[in-house]
């Protein structure tokens, strides 16, 4: 058993001494929130770093999702995946929208584009796919479906900070993309999130919505909410950006080491990396097939825990197993056979930028010994 537990992740933190002067600036100016100077600077720098035109910062990713749906006036039914963090579907529920679950592709864990059209009805107004583990969805195919049915496309890109497809930011696909900057993400602002939009008008509308609908001191243009990022979060984001390439590079080394150590083990599958994708190495999922591997995923999970390695079963249970979704017709297991299997097989191994290679070997050995 390790003296110190190794968790599935831990935030990458910039040097504290660089954060303190930023806090001093906040104390001096007494501007704590409401589109302050750090907030404005972070929006500008993130647009440059990510290669996107318009970004609106949020207090967290879930409120960004809720607001994205509001901004596009989404209602009725939305096609989405059961293989995600529960916030994806909760954002629909909070907008009084009925989620319609569609199964995933086992090779990517993302929504299977070939199964989407069969689930579209007269009430469908949008598709809400997730770039799970930062692996891009089949954006071309899904866009064609959205165009054909004249419905909107919103990507939950909570895992996809900095991910590129054919040299282009993955965040530029769809009508809107939503990021999470939660402590557990590759890029964090303690809590935080953002919406990427593609026009100044849409950004303005989103910015109105996250600030009670206020356009100016005396004008309310929409029944907005309060979902603003504050100055401490934005300062953290600016500092994170200075170090993000280094953090991702370190993750890449760990990811590559895991891949080398765990490839070619009977009963363990790892996801293929697409050569046209620039990844952010946010998660390292393995899939344990208990029909081939000597024990089940849960036995491996418990054995790792007993050794001090706290992997996580992202995403188990499926969202479709949770209240209030479990009785929906689309939540029935026979509608989601691939998701059901994958969620019983998945185990995300610890992946944090500070993980040393010896520990990576110990974790791999812990699995191999079985
Ligand atoms: N869409 C998707 C696809 C998402 O994955 C998420 C969030 C969202 C939307 C919503 O975005 P946000 O509203 O969160 O911005 C975690 C995160 O809380 C959640 O943000 C994330 N997805 C999800 C995949 O993972 P838990 O319940 O597993 O987190 P927790 O607290 O157990 O943390 C995991 C490990 O991380 C801990 O064992 C230790 C470490 N940790 C965690 C925190 C919070 C730290 O070292 N420091 C910390 O401050 O959900």
Q: Give domain status of residue 6, yes or no.
A: no
Q: Is 184 in the pocket of ligand 1 (CB under 6 A)?
A: yes
Domain end, chosen from 206, 222, 239, is at 239
pLDDT band at residue 190 using 50, 70 and 90 as cut-offs: very high
Is the pLDDT reported for residue 273 higher than 90? no
> pLDDT tens-digit profile of 78-98?
999 999 999 999 999 999 999
Length reported for the chain: 370
Is the pLDDT reported for residue 3 higher than 90? no
DSSP per residue, 43-103: HHHHHHHHT-SEEEEES-HHHHHHHHHHHTT--SEEEE-SSS-THHHHHHHTTT-EEEE--
My answer on whether 75 and 130 are in the same domain is yes
CA dihedral (364, 351, 316, 304) positive or negative: positive
pTM for the model stands at 0.98
My answer on whether 276 and 314 are in the same domain is yes
Q: Give domain status of residue 82, yes or no.
A: yes
Provide the number of structural domains found in the chain: 2
Kindly give the distance from the C-alpha atom of residue 115 to the centroid of ligand 1, in angstroms, as a whole number: 29
Using omega within 30 degrees of 0 as the cis cutoff, is the peptide bond preceding 319 cis?
no
What pLDDT, on a 0 to 100 scale, did the predictor assign at position 261?
96
> pLDDT tens-digit profile of 85-136?
999 999 999 999 999 999 999 999 999 999 999 999 999 999 999 999 999 9
Residue 105 CB burial class (10 angstroms; 0-12, 13-18, ≥19): middle
**Cβ atoms within 10 Å of 66's Cβ, excluding its own:** 24
Domain end, chosen from 177, 212, 239, is at 239
My answer on whether 233 and 251 are in the same domain is no
Domain end, chosen from 239, 257, 282, is at 239
Is the pLDDT reported for residue 169 higher than 70? yes
Q: Is 85 in the pocket of ligand 1 (CB under 6 A)?
A: yes
Ligand 1 atom nearest to 190, measured from its CA? 49
- 181 close to 157: Cβ distance less than 8 angstroms: no
Q: Is 60 in the pocket of ligand 1 (CB under 6 A)?
A: yes
Helix, strand or coil, per DSSP, at residue 190? coil
Q: Give domain status of residue 10, yes or no.
A: no
Kindly give the distance from the C-alpha atom of residue 87 to the centroid of ligand 1, in angstroms, as a whole number: 11
Is the pLDDT reported for residue 2 higher than 70? no
Provide the CATH number for the domain around residue 167. 3.40.640.10
- 37 close to 55: Cβ distance less than 8 angstroms: no
Q: Give domain status of residue 1, yes or no.
A: no
Strand partners of residue 98: 77
Residue 12 CB burial class (10 angstroms; 0-12, 13-18, ≥19): buried
Strand partners of residue 54: 197
* DSSP for residue 196: E
pLDDT band at residue 275 using 50, 70 and 90 as cut-offs: confident
Residue written as tokens 């040393």? 356
My answer on whether 286 and 213 are in the same domain is no
> How high does pLDDT run on average in the chain?
97
Q: Is 62 in the pocket of ligand 1 (CB under 6 A)?
A: yes
Q: Is 87 in the pocket of ligand 1 (CB under 6 A)?
A: yes
Q: Is 188 in the pocket of ligand 1 (CB under 6 A)?
A: no
My answer on whether 201 and 61 are in the same domain is yes
Kindly give the distance from the C-alpha atom of residue 179 to the centroid of ligand 1, in angstroms, as a whole number: 13
My answer on whether 86 and 192 are in the same domain is yes
My answer on whether 233 and 260 are in the same domain is no
Which residues constitute the domain of residue 280?
244-369
């Amino acid at each position: 058993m390790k003296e110190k537990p190794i968790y599935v992740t831990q935030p990458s933190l910039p040097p504290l001494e660089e954060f303190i002067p930023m806090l001093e600036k906040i104390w001096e100016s007494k501007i704590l929130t409401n589109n302050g100077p750090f907030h404005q600077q972070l929006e500008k720098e993130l647009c440059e770093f990510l290669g996107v035109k318009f970004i609106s910062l949020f207090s967290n990713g879930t409120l960004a999702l809720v607001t994205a749906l509001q901004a596009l006036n989404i209602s009725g039914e939305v096609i989405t995946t059961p293989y995600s963090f529960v916030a994806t579907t909760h954002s629909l529920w909070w907008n009084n929208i009925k989620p319609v679950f569609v199964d995933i592709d086992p090779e990517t864990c993302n929504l299977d584009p070939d199964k989407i059209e069969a689930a579209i009805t007269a009430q469908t107004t949008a598709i809400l796919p997730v770039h799970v583990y930062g692996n891009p969805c089949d954006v071309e195919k899904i866009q064609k479906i959205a165009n054909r049915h004249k419905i909107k496309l919103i990507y939950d890109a909570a895992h996809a900070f900095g991910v590129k497809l054919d040299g282009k930011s993955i965040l530029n696909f769809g009508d809107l993309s939503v990021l999470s900057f939660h402590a557990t993400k590759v890029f964090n602002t303690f809590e935080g999130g953002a919406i990427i939009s593609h026009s100044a008008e849409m950004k303005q509308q989103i910015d109105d919505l996250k600030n009670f609908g206020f356009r100016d001191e005396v004008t309310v243009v929409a029944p907005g909410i309060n979902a603003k990022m504050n100055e401490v979060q934005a300062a953290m984001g600016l500092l994170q950006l200075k170090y993000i390439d280094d953090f991702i590079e370190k993750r890449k080394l760990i990811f590559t080491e895991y891949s080398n150590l765990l490839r070619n083990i009977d009963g363990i599958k790892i996801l293929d990396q697409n050569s046209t994708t620039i990844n952010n190495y946010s998660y390292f999922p393995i899939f344990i097939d208990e029909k081939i591997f000597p024990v089940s995923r849960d036995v491996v999970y418990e054995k790792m825990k007993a050794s001090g390695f706290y992997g996580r079963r992202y995403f188990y249970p499926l969202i479709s197993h949770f209240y209030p979704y479990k009785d929906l017709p689309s939540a029935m297991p026979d509608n989601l056979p691939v998701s059901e299997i994958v969620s019983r097989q998945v185990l995300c191994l610890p992946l944090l930028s500070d993980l040393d290679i010896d520990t990576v070997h110990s974790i791999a050995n812990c699995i191999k010994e079985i």
